[in-house]
Protein backbone atom coordinates (compact mmCIF):
# COMPACT_ATOMS: atom_id res chain seq x y z
CA UNK A 1 0.00 0.00 0.00
CA UNK A 2 1.42 3.37 -1.04
CA UNK A 3 1.35 5.79 1.90
CA UNK A 4 1.27 9.03 -0.09
CA UNK A 5 0.17 8.69 -3.68
CA UNK A 6 -0.09 11.39 -6.27
CA UNK A 7 -1.36 11.38 -9.82
CA UNK A 8 -0.40 11.76 -12.53
CA UNK A 9 3.26 10.80 -12.39
CA UNK A 10 4.01 12.72 -15.58
CA UNK A 11 2.13 15.68 -16.99
CA UNK A 12 3.05 17.31 -20.30
CA UNK A 13 0.95 20.24 -21.37
CA UNK A 14 0.92 23.45 -23.37
CA UNK A 15 1.39 26.93 -21.99
CA UNK A 16 -1.86 28.56 -20.98
CA UNK A 17 -3.62 25.31 -20.06
CA UNK A 18 -5.15 24.53 -16.67
CA UNK A 19 -4.18 21.30 -14.96
CA UNK A 20 -4.64 19.51 -11.64
CA UNK A 21 -2.50 17.15 -9.60
CA UNK A 22 -4.15 14.91 -7.04
CA UNK A 23 -2.73 13.61 -3.78
CA UNK A 24 -4.02 11.12 -1.26
CA UNK A 25 -2.50 9.78 1.97
CA UNK A 26 -3.63 6.69 3.82
CA UNK A 27 -1.52 7.30 6.93
CA UNK A 28 -4.23 9.05 8.91
CA UNK A 29 -2.08 12.19 9.07
CA UNK A 30 -3.54 15.58 9.87
CA UNK A 31 -1.25 17.73 7.76
CA UNK A 32 -0.51 17.68 4.05
CA UNK A 33 1.85 19.75 1.93
CA UNK A 34 2.79 20.65 -1.60
CA UNK A 35 6.46 21.12 -2.41
CA UNK A 36 8.06 22.20 -5.67
CA UNK A 37 11.47 20.89 -6.74
CA UNK A 38 13.06 22.83 -9.56
CA UNK A 39 15.73 21.73 -12.03
CA UNK A 40 18.47 22.58 -9.53
CA UNK A 41 16.83 20.24 -7.01
CA UNK A 42 15.79 22.98 -4.58
CA UNK A 43 12.80 21.68 -2.65
CA UNK A 44 10.53 24.52 -1.56
CA UNK A 45 7.28 24.41 0.34
CA UNK A 46 4.28 25.90 -1.41
CA UNK A 47 1.31 25.11 0.80
CA UNK A 48 0.40 23.26 3.95
CA UNK A 49 -3.05 22.17 5.08
CA UNK A 50 -4.03 20.89 8.49
CA UNK A 51 -7.40 19.17 8.68
CA UNK A 52 -8.54 20.91 5.49
CA UNK A 53 -7.42 24.32 6.76
CA UNK A 54 -4.64 26.29 5.04
CA UNK A 55 -1.78 26.95 7.48
CA UNK A 56 1.20 27.73 5.26
CA UNK A 57 0.92 29.70 2.05
CA UNK A 58 4.30 30.68 0.67
CA UNK A 59 4.80 33.34 -1.95
CA UNK A 60 3.24 31.42 -4.78
CA UNK A 61 1.42 32.94 -7.77
CA UNK A 62 -2.34 32.86 -7.27
CA UNK A 63 -2.55 30.72 -10.40
CA UNK A 64 -1.80 27.91 -7.97
CA UNK A 65 -4.77 26.91 -5.86
CA UNK A 66 -4.72 24.00 -3.43
CA UNK A 67 -7.94 22.29 -2.43
CA UNK A 68 -8.43 19.87 0.43
CA UNK A 69 -11.82 18.11 0.29
CA UNK A 70 -10.88 16.09 3.40
CA UNK A 71 -7.77 15.58 5.48
CA UNK A 72 -6.66 12.61 3.40
CA UNK A 73 -6.65 14.53 0.13
CA UNK A 74 -4.86 17.64 -1.07
CA UNK A 75 -5.11 18.57 -4.72
CA UNK A 76 -3.24 21.28 -6.59
CA UNK A 77 -4.85 23.15 -9.43
CA UNK A 78 -2.74 25.33 -11.69
CA UNK A 79 -4.28 27.88 -14.03
CA UNK A 80 -2.70 29.42 -17.13
CA UNK A 81 0.41 27.29 -16.99
CA UNK A 82 3.73 28.99 -17.78
CA UNK A 83 7.09 27.61 -18.89
CA UNK A 84 8.55 28.39 -15.46
CA UNK A 85 6.04 26.08 -13.81
CA UNK A 86 7.95 23.10 -15.17
CA UNK A 87 9.25 21.21 -12.15
CA UNK A 88 8.58 18.16 -10.02
CA UNK A 89 5.74 18.68 -7.56
CA UNK A 90 5.76 16.60 -4.40
CA UNK A 91 2.91 15.99 -2.06
CA UNK A 92 3.79 15.15 1.55
CA UNK A 93 2.06 14.49 4.83
CA UNK A 94 2.93 14.56 8.51
CA UNK A 95 1.21 13.34 11.61
CA UNK A 96 0.68 16.33 13.86
CA UNK A 97 -1.11 19.62 13.55
CA UNK A 98 1.76 21.62 12.19
CA UNK A 99 5.39 21.31 11.28
CA UNK A 100 6.59 20.59 14.79
CA UNK A 101 10.13 20.13 15.87
CA UNK A 102 11.15 16.72 14.65
CA UNK A 103 8.21 15.91 12.53
CA UNK A 104 8.82 13.37 9.83
CA UNK A 105 7.52 14.17 6.39
CA UNK A 106 6.27 11.38 4.15
CA UNK A 107 6.59 12.25 0.49
CA UNK A 108 4.83 10.97 -2.59
CA UNK A 109 6.85 10.00 -5.66
CA UNK A 110 6.33 13.31 -7.37
CA UNK A 111 4.61 14.62 -10.49
CA UNK A 112 6.93 15.71 -13.27
CA UNK A 113 5.23 18.69 -14.91
CA UNK A 114 6.56 19.82 -18.28
CA UNK A 115 5.06 22.95 -19.83
CA UNK A 116 5.81 23.34 -23.53
CA UNK B 1 23.25 34.26 1.67
CA UNK B 2 21.01 31.21 1.34
CA UNK B 3 19.74 29.82 4.63
CA UNK B 4 21.09 26.36 3.81
CA UNK B 5 23.92 25.57 1.42
CA UNK B 6 25.13 22.26 0.10
CA UNK B 7 27.63 21.34 -2.57
CA UNK B 8 25.45 19.81 -5.30
CA UNK B 9 28.11 17.36 -6.41
CA UNK B 10 27.97 14.92 -8.02
CA UNK B 11 30.22 13.04 -5.67
CA UNK B 12 31.46 9.77 -7.12
CA UNK B 13 33.14 7.21 -4.86
CA UNK B 14 34.08 3.53 -5.09
CA UNK B 15 32.15 0.97 -3.11
CA UNK B 16 33.44 0.68 0.45
CA UNK B 17 34.63 4.28 0.68
CA UNK B 18 33.82 6.60 3.57
CA UNK B 19 31.64 9.43 2.33
CA UNK B 20 31.36 12.86 3.91
CA UNK B 21 28.41 15.05 2.94
CA UNK B 22 28.27 18.57 4.28
CA UNK B 23 25.90 21.42 4.76
CA UNK B 24 26.24 24.95 6.13
CA UNK B 25 23.48 27.18 7.41
CA UNK B 26 23.13 30.79 8.39
CA UNK B 27 20.28 30.89 10.91
CA UNK B 28 21.57 30.37 14.44
CA UNK B 29 18.01 29.59 15.56
CA UNK B 30 18.18 26.16 13.95
CA UNK B 31 18.15 23.50 16.66
CA UNK B 32 17.13 20.31 14.88
CA UNK B 33 18.91 18.87 11.91
CA UNK B 34 17.59 16.28 9.53
CA UNK B 35 18.98 14.43 6.59
CA UNK B 36 16.65 13.24 3.88
CA UNK B 37 17.65 10.79 1.16
CA UNK B 38 16.09 11.01 -2.29
CA UNK B 39 16.46 8.25 -4.85
CA UNK B 40 16.04 9.10 -8.51
CA UNK B 41 12.38 9.71 -9.46
CA UNK B 42 11.26 9.25 -5.86
CA UNK B 43 10.26 11.54 -3.03
CA UNK B 44 12.69 12.27 -0.19
CA UNK B 45 12.61 10.06 2.90
CA UNK B 46 13.90 10.87 6.36
CA UNK B 47 17.27 9.23 6.99
CA UNK B 48 18.50 10.77 10.24
CA UNK B 49 17.53 13.39 12.76
CA UNK B 50 19.80 15.14 15.29
CA UNK B 51 19.15 17.67 17.99
CA UNK B 52 21.66 20.45 18.70
CA UNK B 53 25.40 19.84 18.53
CA UNK B 54 26.99 16.43 18.67
CA UNK B 55 26.97 13.11 16.87
CA UNK B 56 24.33 10.52 16.21
CA UNK B 57 25.05 7.11 14.76
CA UNK B 58 22.68 4.74 13.00
CA UNK B 59 24.31 1.73 11.41
CA UNK B 60 26.68 2.93 8.70
CA UNK B 61 25.44 6.50 8.99
CA UNK B 62 26.69 9.18 11.38
CA UNK B 63 25.22 12.68 11.57
CA UNK B 64 27.37 15.39 13.10
CA UNK B 65 26.38 18.93 14.02
CA UNK B 66 28.70 21.78 14.95
CA UNK B 67 26.46 24.69 15.89
CA UNK B 68 29.38 27.00 16.64
CA UNK B 69 30.44 26.90 13.00
CA UNK B 70 26.93 26.22 11.66
CA UNK B 71 28.16 23.09 9.92
CA UNK B 72 26.35 19.79 9.48
CA UNK B 73 27.86 16.56 8.21
CA UNK B 74 26.62 13.14 7.26
CA UNK B 75 29.16 10.33 7.14
CA UNK B 76 28.53 7.05 5.39
CA UNK B 77 30.87 4.18 6.19
CA UNK B 78 31.42 1.23 3.85
CA UNK B 79 29.37 2.94 1.16
CA UNK B 80 27.26 0.72 -1.08
CA UNK B 81 25.86 1.22 -4.59
CA UNK B 82 22.43 1.32 -2.95
CA UNK B 83 23.52 4.52 -1.18
CA UNK B 84 23.57 6.28 -4.56
CA UNK B 85 21.01 9.05 -4.13
CA UNK B 86 20.70 12.75 -3.42
CA UNK B 87 21.11 13.71 0.23
CA UNK B 88 19.31 16.80 1.46
CA UNK B 89 20.01 18.46 4.77
CA UNK B 90 17.05 20.10 6.47
CA UNK B 91 17.56 22.21 9.58
CA UNK B 92 14.65 23.29 11.73
CA UNK B 93 14.35 26.00 14.40
CA UNK B 94 11.91 24.07 16.54
CA UNK B 95 8.31 24.83 17.27
CA UNK B 96 5.80 25.13 14.48
CA UNK B 97 7.92 26.24 11.56
CA UNK B 98 8.40 25.06 8.04
CA UNK B 99 11.27 22.79 7.15
CA UNK B 100 13.94 24.31 4.89
CA UNK B 101 15.83 21.99 2.60
CA UNK B 102 19.30 22.35 1.17
CA UNK B 103 19.64 21.77 -2.57
CA UNK B 104 21.06 18.32 -1.94
CA UNK B 105 24.32 16.56 -2.79
CA UNK B 106 24.13 13.86 -5.44
CA UNK B 107 26.16 10.78 -4.48
CA UNK B 108 27.13 7.96 -6.83
CA UNK B 109 28.75 4.84 -5.37
CA UNK B 110 30.19 2.64 -8.08
CA UNK B 111 30.99 -1.07 -7.67
Q: Taking the mean position of all CA atoms in its chain, how far away is CA A52?
A: 14
**Residues A10-60: pLDDT tens digits?**
999 999 999 999 999 999 998 899 999 988 888 999 998 888 888 888 878
Asked whether residue B68 carries a pLDDT value surpassing 80, the answer given is: yes
**Residues B9-59: pLDDT tens digits?**
899 999 999 999 999 999 888 888 999 999 999 999 999 988 888 899 999
List C-alpha distances in Å: B32 to A64, A102, B35, B48, B73.
31, 7, 10, 11, 13
Predicted pLDDT of residue A54: 87
**Residues A102-113: pLDDT tens digits?**
578 899 999 999
**Residues B70-107: pLDDT tens digits?**
999 999 999 999 999 999 999 888 776 778 899 999 99
Average model confidence (pLDDT) across chain A:
90
Asked if A102 lies within 8 A of B95 by C-beta distance, the reply is no
**Chain B, 30-89: which have a CB under 8 Å from a chain A CB?**
31-32, 34, 36, 41-46, 49, 51, 86, 88
Asked if B43 lies within 8 A of A56 by C-beta distance, the reply is no
List of chain A residues whose C-beta atoms are within 8 Å of the C-beta of residue B47? none
Asked if A99 lies within 8 A of B86 by C-beta distance, the reply is no
DSSP chain A: --SEEEE-SEEEE-TT--EEEEEEE-S--SEEEEEEE-TT--EEEEEEEETTEEEEE-S--TTEEEEEEETTEEEEEE-S--GGG-EEEEEEEESSSS--TTPPPEE---EEEEE-
List of chain A residues whose C-beta atoms are within 8 Å of the C-beta of residue B35? none
CB pairs under 8 A between A and B: 61
Predicted pLDDT of residue A57: 83
Select from B51, B63, B98 the residue whose CB has the most chain A CBs within 10 Å, as the one to mutate to test that interface. Answer: B98
Percent of chain A with pLDDT over 90: 67
Asked whether residue A100 carries a pLDDT value surpassing 70, the answer given is: no
Amino acid sequence: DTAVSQTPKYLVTQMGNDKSIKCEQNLGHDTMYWYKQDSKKFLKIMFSYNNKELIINETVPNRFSPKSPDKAHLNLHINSLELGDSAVYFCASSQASGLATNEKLFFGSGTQLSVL
Amino acid sequence: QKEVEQDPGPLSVPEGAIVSLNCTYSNSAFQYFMWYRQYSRKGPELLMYTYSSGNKEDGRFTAQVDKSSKYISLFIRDSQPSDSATYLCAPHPGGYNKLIFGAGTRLAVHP
